Structure formats: structure tokens, C-alpha cells
């Protein structure tokens, strides 16, 4: 599955509120009410913000003119009520103190005392009465009946959970037992797109792997009307927390075959998983509906009872009843259609053996184009209004399918390959075997789409087609090895595009992806590539940067380490050996080892990269011709966590005598904590990690950095652009770690005046803009202005030199769009005036004047800051048929600094009315970047957490994105305390997510970085 990356750039994170009272007071005095558990971060007086709970939208520094009159009334009343609240509290405390220390009137006491004998007798009577009361109170009532009490079945009750009918459920694990395995499913479905319900019937043929008298499988959110096991009607037991049902029966023997049939009904899901309903408005203004599936990772059980784990592979025969106005699609080609009960019944061929999460079916009104490619019928489907946007996807898929057939040396095994654009789809795409589903943005390309749009569509298609082998043909055994699917598909998408579509400049995108993976994996909250996974939330959270991007990065590293052709040979052996089966990481490494002629064991080396989290920092200390190399865990940690991890690092390096050609690369295997490397005495400088193909960071020491910076200042082309970008990335990361002072970072950036390549420039700008946004959120206006001035001084000339006309190069478009967005975001007149000129020309032509696609976001972002511009862009967004264009308009709308528009767009994204729910993570991310919107965005997340997690599963990539984008720019103690308080209050509704730990850790690291570097910024900017 391709998770949809909202920005293809590092994601942010934001702020939280301190809820102190069950009722809603108007003011919470955070300075006085700070929880004791957070005493390690005492509040400074400057951090205390009085904020009306009814709005929570006031931002210091915005000024009164930025809030409407109603908000000003809220603020005034809040202050008055707050003073009243605090006065009442202080008066109450004073009253309590007076009560506690008021003397009693001595005359009220009796001076007479009882005798000793009387006291002893009284105590005895009291003890006797109390003992009798305790006996009657604590013993159960059945003790005093004739039948007595029944003895509890403690052995069973303490082990097994309780089913919905009160009986013990005969299984006590989230994972299913392996005693019964499915062989084949016969599935009949009848969706009703008027009532948004469906009926189903499934017959499962199974074999027993051992003697058993119980069958356990998955089922969720459905009503079972009838179940028969071996032709005998049975009543399933259900345990809803684990989404399991169980059937008890007389014991059957190992090797026997058995059959379960279940008739059931359910509502089409209103979220984005299971068998869910989707809708869109066509060009006539009519609302159209459809039903589609998204089963990965744990939602096939919502469409039919099944063994919903990757290792339980089986074949499937699917039939779908539908109305005549729709078509139906499933994984396999359709056998035929018959009429039944006034409906049409489509029957599909028996499938190949596959996991349940790959099953798919769609009922919709769609149009398609098709082509036969090497014996496979390839088709692209879209809603009728967008049928003219499918040709590029068809052409790209045809080329990629032939490439993969040859590279893997195994032909695609199905007769057909359908690719379907779903109007309302959360993920980027889903690799269902033979029926791949996509967001419209990731499949459809209009005639005027930009090369950047084509790069995105081609990347997603390449990713999903690679899954047809890695994931579908050979599948990971359990979700802990998800990277075997996603990491490999990610790597293949970049490799295949680089070979087939060099004009798309995919190498810069892959380089940026590797930088992002390093940033994610540098946190203590990260996890090993192959991690322990138990709960559904943990399964959802595996769909992250580590599984996708780090997985792809380490595959690049091993491929660049092996001899030419060995990687491909090992992959072919792996696929042939395990096709139709399930695997673990070790199986891949063993296959690569078996074909490698290297002296090292691939399995032994790569286990150090998959079984422990993080990556190494390699420190280079050169003394003459001897280079001392040492490694340690690169761990950005605010809590002084220690790590003894050691990696087998295939170190690559070049020097000043030969530094740009691939033949210059030399390799040294660093397996221990430290080692020595001898080099020629005349070498002036060394650059390690050639083209950043390894997953590690290098610190060259003071002299080493000085030599590299000097070399770049003399000749910027002395290193490839990938190496220059890596040096920029590494030095910012080392500054964040505290290994390099920030003034050294600024020294490195001094060479940028001669830089012209996209990768190093965009990396430097991304790092600087992250710092600027943090400073803005702290409202340190002096440093904000100094940082803006620094960026303009160093990059202003490059910004001003950018063209506003059409560009054909992806690299040029990528750089230009970033430079101009920053320039206009800094309110430089040269940029904003040209943006408004382009917008006015677009308005005057009634939208027919073409704005270059890569500039749409910057032009519209400037325009929407006016009321007229906002309204025009919003109307165009609602009417546009081109999804890449709509997306840029939406990002522009969400960049507004107008408070009322911010509130509207957040609510619209949540309600799904004018903006589809699938776009909510993007809306929140964009809103939170702005100074006016970041508190609104964070408060919106808090207030609507329940609704958000109803639409998107806890732990899903969408929820991860929302948390990260809403909190990553915070850097104060108050913001940290509010975040911790909010998520700790959620308990089982999200408090244990790894992403929450990441957010807390990121804020602490931001605080530390600011504490260490604010003085340097003031002195050097």
C-alpha cells in the first residue's frame, strides 16, 4: 500500500491545552495549576497564557485587528470571569483556613470520665458487633442457603475472555490459532447503494493442521443471521474487542477437511476501510455513489468472516449482485453475468492463492481504456467525467509491467490488471492483486498536468506494480516484517523510474526520501525495521517512514555494496523459492548471500540494520595518512539514553584526487566500534558515504569540515550534487545532536552563493525554514526578522531570477516552486506582485489562462489572502475536474491567515461537505504552518479527536500525519505540558501511539536546540 504523503517533505508537529476541570471554566491559571507530574518543566511567567476555553483561538502577537468582534468579546469576558474565578478561589481558601483554626468553646466539653471497667466492657461489645457485621457483609449470600455456593471455574475464567453472550470465549490471543487453515472461500455479496448496506454469504473450506474442537476466525461490525459447520447449524461465540468469532464442535482429527458457511449483513463502512461507500458530485451537480474496498491491514474481516492474517493464504471465488446502472470488479476476470431477482449477478474466476488483505471488489459507474501487454489485459478505470485523464497511466503501466516481468524473470501471473481511480480514497493506492485502487490524484493526468504531476503518478504506479511480486506473490509472514513489502516496493519504484523515465529526475526525490528517513529514525521513539507487533494499533503504526523509506534506503545500500547483477540474481532466487508463500527478513538476506561473491555475509551484515533501531554516526579523525574511524548510535535524545548498538557498515569514500565518478568509490567494512584506515599522505580531504547511498551520517571533525567547506568554496562541482546535499543534511543533523556548533552550519552555507543544483539548495532551504517556523511560533520577533533577512541575503538573488513561465524540467520546477513560495511567504514585493499579476490574468480569462502547474500553489496562496481571491479560488476548487489542480488550490486555501476562513476550512475538511475527508490531514498540515493557524489547528485536533479517530483508525498514517503536523514546531515548556496532558487523558483512544512519543520527544529536542543556539543565532544572523 502506498500511504499518501501529504507534502512529500518532512512533516511538522504542534500544541496542546491543559484541561483541569470537568466543567468548562473560562480561564485556567496554568501557572498555579500545573500538574505535579510535570514538575521537571516548571513554567516560566512568560509561558503563562490565559485563554478562553470557548474559543482557544487567541494568538499572542496577532493584534486585535486579526480577531473579529465576537472573539474580542470572548477575550474581555474571559479576563473578567477569570479574575472572578481566581477571587472566588482565594476567598474560599481563606474561609477554609479560618474554619480550620477556630478555637472551640471550652464550656462545650464534659469533665466527667467513665470508669475503667465500663470502658473495657464497651470495647468488647463493639468488637463483637463489628466482627458479626463483617462476616455477614463479606460472605456471599449463597453461604447461608441450603444449596450453598457453586465453586467457580477459576482455571477457565481467569484464562479466557467472556463472549458477548456471557460464555467463556475459547481463545485468549490476538493472533489466531494455527490448528485450522483456510483453503478456499466462496463469497457472495449484494451491496445496496441506496440504504448503504450489504448482505453476504461466505463458505470457507478448511483443513486441520492438528486435532481440535474449536474454530476461531475474524469477524467485525456485522450481524450473523445463520452459521452452519459441517452442515449443522451452530451459534458462533463473539469476542468484539479482538474482532473474533469461535465455533465449538466435536473434536476433528488432523488432516480432515471441514466447511463453515456464514450468512450475514452489515452497513457499508463510513470510514476508509472494509467495504465502504464513497460519493462524488458529477458535472451535472448530481451526487453519485459507489462501493469500494480497502482491506490492508486488518479490514477484510469487516466485509466477510475470514482468517484475516497474512499467513493464512487461500483461493477465492467471488460473486457480486448489483443493479444494472453499475459495473462490478474484483481481483480476477469476470466469467459471466446472469439475472437473478431483478438484479445482475457477476461471477469471477477462482483466484490465485493470496492473503485476505489483497481481496478487493468495487461496485460503481466507471469508464475505462485497455491494452494487452505481454498477454495481460491492462485497464485503467475512472468516473465518466474524467475518462480523458487515464491514458498516461495506461502507457506508464504498460512500460513498467514489461520492465518488472524482465527484471524479476517471472511473468505477472494474472490474466488482467485493473487500475481504478476512486473519488474518495484515503491511501495513495492499494496493491490488491489484479485490482489496484488509487486516489484520483495518484492515477489521473490531464493534458496540461506538469512533469511533477507525472512524476507522482508514475511513482505510485511503479510502487503498486512492484507489489504484485513483492507482497502479493511472496508475502511477509506477519506485519512485523511489513518492510519486506513496502520497503522493497519503494526501492523498486525509484530504480525502475530511473531506468525507464530518466526525464522525471527521480533521483532527487529518492535522495530527499532518504534524508527524511534519517530524521525519523534518529529519534528514540523510532523502531527497528523488523519490529515486535501485537495490537491492531501497532500494526497500523508500522505503515510509517521506517518501513517504507528506511526499508528502501537499506536496500539501496546493500545493492550498491554487492557486485553488479548480484542483487537482481538474489531477488530472482528469493521470488522463485518462496512464490505463493510467506517469508521473514532472513529469507531475503539468505537468498542474496547465496549469490554474492563478497567475503562478508549479507545476512549477518543486514541483520544489524533490521533488528535494531536507528543508524550509526561515523566519526572521522585523521592524523596524517592514518584515519581513525569510530561508530556510535546517532540518537537525538533529550533524556540521555545510552545505546550500545553496533552496525556492520559498508563505508564508501572518495578523496580530492578522484571524487565524482562511480569508479572513484572505495569501500571499507566497519564492523567494530572503531578501526583504522590508511590513505595516501597527499590526500587533502575525504568524503564518506558516496552519493549518500549508505544509511548513516558522518562527522569529519573541525579540520575535516574545514577542508570540505574550503573545497566547495573553491569549486562547487568538486563533489556530485548528491554529496553536496548530504553534507548540508549531515551538518544540520549534527548541530541538532550537539556535535557541531551552529556557527559551523552557517559556515557550510556560505558556499551556497555558487550552488545551482536542486538537491543541495532545497535541503538547505528546508532546514532553514523549519528553524524560522519554530522561531515564529515562539514569537521571537527579533530573531524571526533576522532569520528572514539571512534567507533573503543568501537566496534572494536566486529567488528573483526564477521564471514565471512554463518549465519542462522536474528539477527546475521543484526548485522554482520552493524558492517562490518562500519568497512570497516572506512578503517580498517582487514575488507577491508577480503572483497577483498571474492571478488577475487567470481571473480575467475566466480560468482559461494557464498558470504553470508548479506555480499554482504560490499564486493562489498570495491571492487567497484577500476576500475576493479566497472566494474565487474556493469556487474554482469546487468546479475543477483535475485533482492535481484541486489539491494545489486546497493547499492555497488552507494557507489563509484570515481567522474565519481558517475555522471554516478545518470544519469543512472534517464534515466532508465541500472538502472530502481524505484531505483533512493535508488541511491541518497546511493550516499549522502559518502563524495565524497553528494554534487553531492544534485546538481543532484536540476538540475533534473523537470524530477524527472515527474517520481514521488510531495509529493509521492519517492520524500519524495529523499529530506530527500539529505539534512539530512547538519548542516551549507550556506547549510540551499541554501535549502530554491531552494525550495522557486519552488512555486507550491514542495515548500509547508511537507517534505521540515522537511528538513529545520532538518538542523536547526543539526546546534543547533553542536553549543551545538562541545566543548563536542572535550573534551570527
- Angle, helices 506-521 vs 451-467, to 10°: value is 70
- Spot the catalytic one: 2, 51, 464, 980: 464
Q: Kindly tell me the burial class for residue 590, based on how many C-beta atoms sit within 10 Å of its own C-beta (0-12, 13-18, 19 or more).
A: middle
In degrees rounded to 5, what are phi and psi of residue 865? -75, -10
Q: How far is Cα 683 from Cα 666, in angstroms, rounded to an integer?
A: 14
Assess contact for 507 and 552: CB atoms under 8 A: no
Nearest Cα neighbor of 510 from 698, 696, 659, 722 is 722
Residues near 725 by beta carbon (within 8 Å), at least 6 away in sequence = 511, 515, 692, 757, 759, 760, 762, 763
In degrees rounded to 5, what are phi and psi of residue 743? -65, -25
Q: What is the DSSP string of 687-726?
A: EESGGG-SS-EEE-HHHHHHHHHHHHHH-GGGS-HHHHHH
The cell 480523458 sits on which residue? 388
Cβ burial 174-205 (10 Å sphere, 16+ → b, else e): eebbebbbbebbbbbbbbbbeebebbbbbbbe
Assess contact for 595 and 565: CB atoms under 8 A: no
- What is the chain's alpha carbon radius of gyration, rounded to the nearest angstrom? 32
Q: How far is Cα 767 from Cα 791, in angstroms, rounded to an integer?
A: 11
Q: Kindly tell me the burial class for residue 63, based on how many C-beta atoms sit within 10 Å of its own C-beta (0-12, 13-18, 19 or more).
A: exposed
Assess contact for 242 and 206: CB atoms under 8 A: no
Nearest Cα neighbor of 627 from 649, 646, 655 is 655
Cβ burial 18-38 (10 Å sphere, 16+ → b, else e): beeeeeeebbbbbeeebeeeb
Residues near 553 by beta carbon (within 8 Å), at least 6 away in sequence = 513, 514, 517, 695
- The widest CA-to-CA distance across the chain, in whole angstroms, is 111
Which alpha helices (DSSP H) does 551-638 contain, by range? 551-561, 566-578, 585-595, 602-610
Query: Going by DSSP bridges, is the β-strand pair 416-422/435-439 parallel, antiparallel, or unpaired?
Result: parallel
Which residues on neighbouring strands pair with residue 919, listed in sequence order?
A: none
The cell 470508669 sits on which residue? 115
Catalytic residue flag (residue 821)? no
Q: How far is Cα 516 from Cα 551, in angstroms, rounded to an integer?
A: 12
Q: What is the DSSP string of 559-575?
A: HHHSPTTHHHHHHHHHH
Query: Going by DSSP bridges, is the β-strand pair 435-439/582-583 parallel, antiparallel, or unpaired?
Result: unpaired
In the numeric block, which cell numbers belong to residue 744?
559551523
Q: How far is Cα 469 from Cα 746, in angstroms, rounded to an integer?
A: 46
User: What percentage of the chain's residues is helix, strand, coil (to nearest 5)?
Assistant: 50, 20, 35
Give 238-242 contacts, CB < 8 A, sequence gap 24+: 238/163, 238/164, 238/165, 238/169, 239/161, 239/162, 239/163, 239/164, 239/169, 239/171, 240/164, 241/161, 242/161, 242/174
Q: How far is Cα 883 from Cα 622, in angstroms, rounded to an integer?
A: 54
| Type and span of the H or E element at 875 | helix 867-879
Active site residues: 464
Amino acid at each position: 500500500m502506498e500511504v499518501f504523503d501529504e507534502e512529500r517533505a518532512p512533516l511538522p508537529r504542534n500544541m496542546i491545552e491543559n484541561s483541569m476541570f470537568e466543567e468548562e471554566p473560562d480561564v485556567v491559571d496554568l501557572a498555579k495549576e500545573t500538574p505535579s507530574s510535570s514538575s521537571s518543566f516548571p513554567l516560566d511567567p512568560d509561558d503563562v497564557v490565559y485563554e478562553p476555553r470557548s474559543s482557544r483561538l487567541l494568538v499572542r502577537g496577532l493584534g486585535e485587528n486579526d480577531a473579529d468582534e465576537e472573539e474580542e468579546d470572548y477575550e474581555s469576558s474571559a479576563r473578567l470571569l477569570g479574575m472572578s474565578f481566581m477571587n472566588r478561589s482565594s476567598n474560599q481558601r481563606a474561609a477554609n483556613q479560618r474554619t480550620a483554626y477556630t478555637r472551640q468553646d471550652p464550656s462545650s466539653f464534659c469533665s466527667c470520665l467513665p470508669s475503667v471497667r465500663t470502658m473495657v466492657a464497651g470495647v468488647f461489645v463493639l468488637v463483637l458487633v463489628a466482627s458479626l457485621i463483617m462476616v455477614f457483609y463479606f460472605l456471599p449470600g449463597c453461604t447461608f442457603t441450603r444449596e450453598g455456593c457453586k465453586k467457580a471455574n477459576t482455571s477457565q475464567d481467569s484464562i479466557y475472555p467472556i463472549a458477548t453472550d456471557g460464555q467463556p470465549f475459547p481463545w485468549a490471543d490476538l493472533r489466531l490459532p494455527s490448528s485450522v487453515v483456510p483453503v478456499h472461500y466462496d463469497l457472495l455479496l449484494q451491496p445496496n447503494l441506496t440504504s448503504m448496506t450489504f448482505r453476504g454469504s461466505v463458505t470457507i473450506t478448511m483443513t486441520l493442521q492438528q486435532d481440535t474442537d474449536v474454530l476461531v476466525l475474524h469477524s467485525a461490525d456485522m450481524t450473523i443471521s445463520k452459521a452452519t459447520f459441517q452442515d449443522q447449524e451452530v451459534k458462533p461465540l463473539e469476542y468484539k474487542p479482538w474482532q473474533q468469532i469461535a465455533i465449538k464442535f466435536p473434536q476433528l482429527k488432523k488432516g480432515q477437511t471441514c466447511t463453515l458457511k456464514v450468512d450475514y449483513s452489515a452497513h457499508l463502512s463510513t470510514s476508509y476501510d472494509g467495504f465502504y461507500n464513497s460519493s462524488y458530485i458529477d458535472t451535472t451537480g448530481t451526487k453519485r455513489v459507489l462501493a469500494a474496498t480497502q482491506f490492508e491491514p486488518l479490514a477484510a474481516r469487516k466485509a466477510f468472516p475470514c482468517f484475516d492474517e497474512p499467513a493464512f493464504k487461500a483461493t477465492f471465488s467471488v460473486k457480486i449482485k448489483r443493479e444494472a446502472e453499475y459495473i462490478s470488479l474484483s481481483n480476477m476476470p469476470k466469467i459471466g453475468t446472469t439475472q437473478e431477482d431483478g438484479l445482475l449477478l457477476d461471477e469471477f474466476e477462482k483466484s490465485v492463492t493470496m492473503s485476505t488483505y489483497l481481496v478487493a471488489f468495487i461496485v460503481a459507474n466507471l469508464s475505462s481504456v485497455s491494452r494487452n501487454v505481454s498477454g495481460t489485459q491492462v485497464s485503467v478505470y475512472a468516473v465518466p467525467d474524467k475518462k480523458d485523464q487515464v491514458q498516461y497511466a495506461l502507457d506508464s503501466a504498460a512500460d513498467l509491467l514489461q520492465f518488472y516481468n524482465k527484471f524479476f524473470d517471472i511473468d505477472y501471473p494474472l490474466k488482467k490488471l485493473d487500475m481504478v481511480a476512486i473519488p474518495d480514497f484515503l491511501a495513495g493506492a492499494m496493491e490488491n492483486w489484479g485490482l489496484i485502487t488509487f486516489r484520483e490524484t495518484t492515477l489521473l493526468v490531464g493534458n496540461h498536468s506538469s512533469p511533477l504531476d507525472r512524476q507522482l503518478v508514475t511513482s505510485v504506479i511503479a510502487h503498486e506494480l512492484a507489489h504484485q511480486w513483492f507482497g502479493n506473490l511472496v508475502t511477509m509472514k506477519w506485519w512485523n516484517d511489513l518492510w519486506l513489502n513496502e520497503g522493497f516496493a519503494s526501492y523498486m519504484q525509484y530504480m525502475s523510474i530511473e531506468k525507464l523515465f530518466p526525464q522525471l529526475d527521480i533521483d532527487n526525490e529518492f535522495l530527499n526520501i532518504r534524508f527524511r528517513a534519517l530524521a525519523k529514525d534518529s529519534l528514540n521513539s523510532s523502531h527497528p525495521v523488523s519490529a515486535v507487533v501485537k495490537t491492531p494499533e501497532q500494526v497500523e503504526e508500522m505503515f510509517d517512514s521506517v518501513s517504507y523509506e528506511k526499508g528502501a534506503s537499506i536496500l539501496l545500500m546493500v545493492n550498491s555494496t554487492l557486485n553488479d547483477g548480484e542483487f537482481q540474481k538474489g531477488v530472482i532466487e528469493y521470488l522463485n523459492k518462496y512464490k505463493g508463500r510467506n517469508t521473514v527478513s532472513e529469507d531475503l538476506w539468505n537468498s542474496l548471500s547465496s549469490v554474492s561473491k563478497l567475503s562478508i555475509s549479507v545476512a549477518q551484515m543486514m541483520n544489524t540494520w533490521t533488528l535494531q533501531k536507528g543508524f550509526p554516526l561515523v566519526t572521522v579523525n585523521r592524523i596524517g595518512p592514518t584515519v581513525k574511524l569510530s561508530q556510535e548510535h546517532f540518537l537525538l535524545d533529550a533524556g540521555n539514553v545510552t545505546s550500545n548498538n553496533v552496525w556492520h557498515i559498508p563505508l564508501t569514500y572518495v578523496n580530492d584526487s578522484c571524487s565524482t565518478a562511480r569508479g572513484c568509490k572505495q569501500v571499507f567494512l566497519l564492523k567494530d566500534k572503531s578501526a583504522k584506515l590508511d590513505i595516501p599522505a597527499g590526500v587533502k580531504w575525504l568524503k564518506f558515504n558516496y552519493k549518500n547511498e549508505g544509511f548513516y551520517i558522518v562527522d569529519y571533525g573541525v579540520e575535516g569540515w574545514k577542508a570540505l567547506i574550503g573545497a566547495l568554496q573553491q569549486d562547487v562541482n568538486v563533489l556530485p550534487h548528491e554529496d553536496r546535499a548530504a553534507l548540508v543534511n549531515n551538518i544540520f543533523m549534527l548541530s541538532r545532536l550537539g556535535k557541531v556548533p551552529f556557527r559551523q552550519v552557517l559556515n557550510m552555507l556560505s558556499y551556497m552563493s555558487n550552488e545551482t543544483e536542486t538537491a543541495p539548495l532545497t535541503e538547505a532551504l528546508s532546514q532553514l525554514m523549519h528553524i524560522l517556523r519554530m522561531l515564529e511560533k515562539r514569537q521571537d520577533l527579533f530573531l524571526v526578522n533576522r532569520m528572514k533577512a539571512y534567507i533573503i541575503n543568501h537566496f534572494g538573488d536566486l529567488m528573483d531570477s526564477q521564471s514565471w513561465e512554463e518549465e519542462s524540467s522536474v528539477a527546475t520546477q521543484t526548485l522554482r516552486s520552493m524558492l517562490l513560495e518562500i519568497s512570497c511567504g516572506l512578503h517580498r514585493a517582487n514575488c507577491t506582485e508577480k503572483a497577483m499579476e498571474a492571478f488577475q490574468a487567470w481571473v480575467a480569462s475566466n480560468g482559461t489562462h494557464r498558470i504553470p502547474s508548479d506555480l499554482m500553489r504560490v499564486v493562489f496562496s498570495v491571492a487567497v489572502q484577500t476576500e475576493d481571491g479566497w472566494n474565487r479560488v474556493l469556487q474554482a476548487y469546487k468546479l475543477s475536474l483535475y485533482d492535481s489542480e484541486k489539491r494545489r488550490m486546497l493547499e492555497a486555501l488552507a494557507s489563509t491567515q484570515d481567522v474565519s476562513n481558517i475555522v471554516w476550512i478545518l470544519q469543512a475538511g472534517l464534515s466532508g461537505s465541500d472538502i472530502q475527508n481524505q484531505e483533512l490531514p493535508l488541511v491541518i498540515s497546511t493550516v499549522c504552518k502559518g502563524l495565524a493557524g497553528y494554534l487553531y489547528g492544534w485546538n481543532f485536533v484536540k476538540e475533534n479527536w473523537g470524530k477524527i479517530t472515527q474517520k481514521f483508525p488510531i495509529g493509521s498514517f492519517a492520524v500519524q500525519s495529523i499529530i506530527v503536523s500539529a505539534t512539530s514546531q512547538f519548542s516551549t515548556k507550556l506547549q510540551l505540558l499541554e501535549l502530554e496532558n491531552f494525550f495522557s487523558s486519552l488512555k486507550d483512544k491514542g495515548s500509547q501511539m508511537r507517534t505521540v512519543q515522537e511528538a513529545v520527544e520532538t518538542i523536547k529536542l526543539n526546546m534543547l536546540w533553542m536553549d543551545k543556539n538562541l545566543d548563536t543565532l542572535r550573534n551570527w544572523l
